[in-house]
Structure 1
């Protein structure tokens, strides 16, 4: 009997590991406690709005190397719309000033010397802050490293940090933000073309992966929650899904691609990140969009951080949103719609049908202390590896980070 890799968790990390393993000829069994795959990155039919929604708003760009490899390996490129240019529009709701950050295509940052391509009110020299971030001490936060009185702080570093790290700048790692800026804007506009799923996250990032796994002989087992692992010496000997133990053959292995708290429950010896931050997403059903579908707008001084225009739906995202999660959903919806109305000249009193989704522990907090708690993929057990955006990927908890973790786990087993 051929060896099996048991992948526990069918979020982006587990899907990435499964696809990479299946593509290299490994027999994969993919499990998830839920009735479907995708985790925090999937689509569903919302009964209230009567349409399909994404359970979160995620922005991929052409320079997300792991995500682009995953899309290629799952033959999903045709399910995306890719923007022709790299452009990141913003609106300051307080001053009503608008601008668009538009990096030039090459790695040489010529765009910094063109006022119309920079953040409004900034100079080319302001962007030298990126060097301060990358050279910051490992314990330094963004607010400790940069001058909060400067325009670029409020209009670039805060929005970028909150969106990418899902952590407030007073607590977020300066060095990690510097790395993200270098890996994205530092590589030029060619790596910053936004990608939008034509239909939804499931149709682009989940369903194609499941099709590949099954086509390669893998099995999908939903509605199965792992209750415990039995260890014998240097290996995992059995898995327990509540229906009796599933004994592992000598050459079988396990990818644990679950959340940090669940991993801690299953393996008490782990010491993973244990501080988290919330994200609030909202969705408003509209008959006519106020702009082009498959577009977005960043907000400064709003309740929402980002607005996304999708066919039939206007969505918002607010990251590092612990201050909002306990507020009444209707009060939140009204505040978020007010931001949308102000941005697009709509009537703030005409609140459309809507859905507010709160994730209290959406991602781990990217603080210096929490980053030190991220474990490597390899464990002390020779047939067990870890995956998940909370592991040591070098990236924050994003789709790119989750996919990287899955690929790293697959490589660890291959080695």
Structure 2
């Protein structure tokens, strides 16, 4: 095994995952992070407008996210996620007021689709079997080219689920990526679809334990450390130029570049990366949720798409939300609150609120943009890419980010790299 240092640029989940995997195998690691905190787009922070600590985005893990669970088990954060005994997803049709709960059975044989009480209202077992067409999708296919977009199983289940997973409307979203999501979750049975809820926040579960784990194993973390350029020579990275000065690399050193795609594009000559992005809008309301409100609820026929009930707030996620990028914040908050109050059956005026817009939350998960995702291996012998925008086979999700970090670490440890 190499005794060189692995320099990881970026302390988001991809970078942290790479670092955790590497130090677990005895490699020396130095993490360089532009910001003054770790976590990237998956972190918790105190929001003064609410007087609460919130996540900068409402992310959801599922029990079938194998890489994420392996990472959590390694760093000691697994117990910080609520894990229901069975898979259940509550839904509400805002227009009609109808409510239902999807209840896949635990095993891989989907007998639940034959039970009216477990499936979406007004659907048939054959509707679910037809979703298997996504598993054979071509790289050029969109989701609505493979499934009937007018069917109740699409409008009341597939559309909200895949809109959230791909952060891209299914009419333009990659059917191949949608098929990967279905293959790793619903196709494996309800046991792989249990929603794992970070009740105390994503930072305490996914980031803070990782920093503690890395610190105890000698990893060096350099925050507020801005990478300006990369020096290449003889097929290798020779130096990393930071604002404070250059870090010269030894022959045994490696670099894992775990930065956003648009940053990587400025650092690496001729790299091909996704160029289109989609935003996510989150609305947070400082109010105690009703005791009987599900922790997670999918909403159809409303601006609100997913409603999360935390101990001290209600939070809403709106995916593929470019239409709200320039919207005035207070009218938007009032619009969403009107929906939330009706859904949660609350007779309350607009509470303290905050709107959080992530304009480049993910790459646009279209067939064309998916084709631009690079492999982790580069033409430079000691340079490896990591990030949910690389070719993980999944959309830009927590699972994809963590998986990319694992893969990058394995390449760095490989004698054949």
TM range, normalised to the smaller chain?
Answer: over 0.9
The structure-2 alpha-carbon separation of the partners of 1:411 and 1:2, relative to structure 1 and needing over 3 Å to count, comes to closer
Counterparts of 1:91-102 in structure 2, within 5 Å, are 91-102=92-103
Separation of aligned partners in 2, 1:396 and 1:137: 16
Show CA shifts across 1:341-360 (max 9, x none): 11111136x00000000011
Q: How does 1:84-233 map to 2 (within 5 A)?
A: 84-233=85-234
1:317 aligns with 2:340: no
1:16-415 mapped onto 2 (5 Å cutoff)? 16-286=17-287, 288-291=288-291, 295-347=295-347, 350-415=349-414
Q: 1:134 to 1:267 in 2, by over 3 A?
A: same
Aligned-partner Cα distance in 2 for 1:389–1:161: 17
User: Contact between 1:291 and 1:309, CA under 8 Å: does it hold in 2?
Assistant: no
Question: 1:274, CA displacement in angstroms?
Answer: 0.7
In structure 2, distance between residues paired with 1:91 and 1:69 = 33
Q: State which drifts further: 132-141 or 262-271.
A: 132-141
Give me the whole-angstrom Cα distance separating, in 1, the residues matched to 2:241 and 2:292: 49
Shift of 1:292: 5.2
Per-residue deviation at 1:152?
1.4
Shift of 1:242: 1.4
CA shift, 1:407, in A, is: 0.2
Once residues 198 and 133 of structure 2 are traced to their aligned partners in structure 1, the CA distance between those partners, rounded to angstroms, is 35
| Distance (whole Å) between structure 2 residues aligned to residue 293 and residue 98 of structure 1 | 12
Q: CA distance change for structure 1 residues 196 and 294 in 2, over 3 Å: closer, same or farther?
A: farther
Q: Distance in 2 between matches of 1:147 and 1:77?
A: 38
Q: Deviations over 1:147-190 (max 9, x none)?
A: 22211121112112101000011210112212211211111111
Deviation at 1:137, TM superposition (A): 2.7
- Distance in 2 between the 1:83 and 1:292 partners? 16
**Alignment length (residue pairs):** 413
Whole-angstrom distance in 2 between the partners of 1:294 and 1:110: 24
Q: Against the structure 1 CA distance between its residues 408 and 343, is the aligned structure 2 distance closer, same or farther, given a 3 Å change threshold?
A: same
Q: CA RMSD in A?
A: 1.3
Q: Note the alpha carbon deviations across 1:226-275, whole angstroms, 9 max, x for none.
A: 10000011110100111221111111110000000000011131110111
Instruction: Pick closer, same or farther for the CA change 1:116–1:197 going to 2, 3 Å.
Output: same
Q: TM-score, normalised by structure 1?
A: 0.97
**Distance between the aligned counterparts of 1:166 and 1:124, measured in 2?**
27
CA distance in 2, matches of 1:409, 1:35: 24
Moved more, 187-196 or 117-126: 187-196
The TM-score, its normalising length taken from structure 2, stands at 0.97
Gaps (5+ residues) in structure 1? Answer: none
How many Å separate the matches in 1 of 2:93 and 2:292? 20
Task: For 1:8 and 1:390, locate their aligned partners in 2 and report how far apart those are by CA, in whole Å.
Answer: 15
Cα drift, residue 61 of structure 1 = 1.3
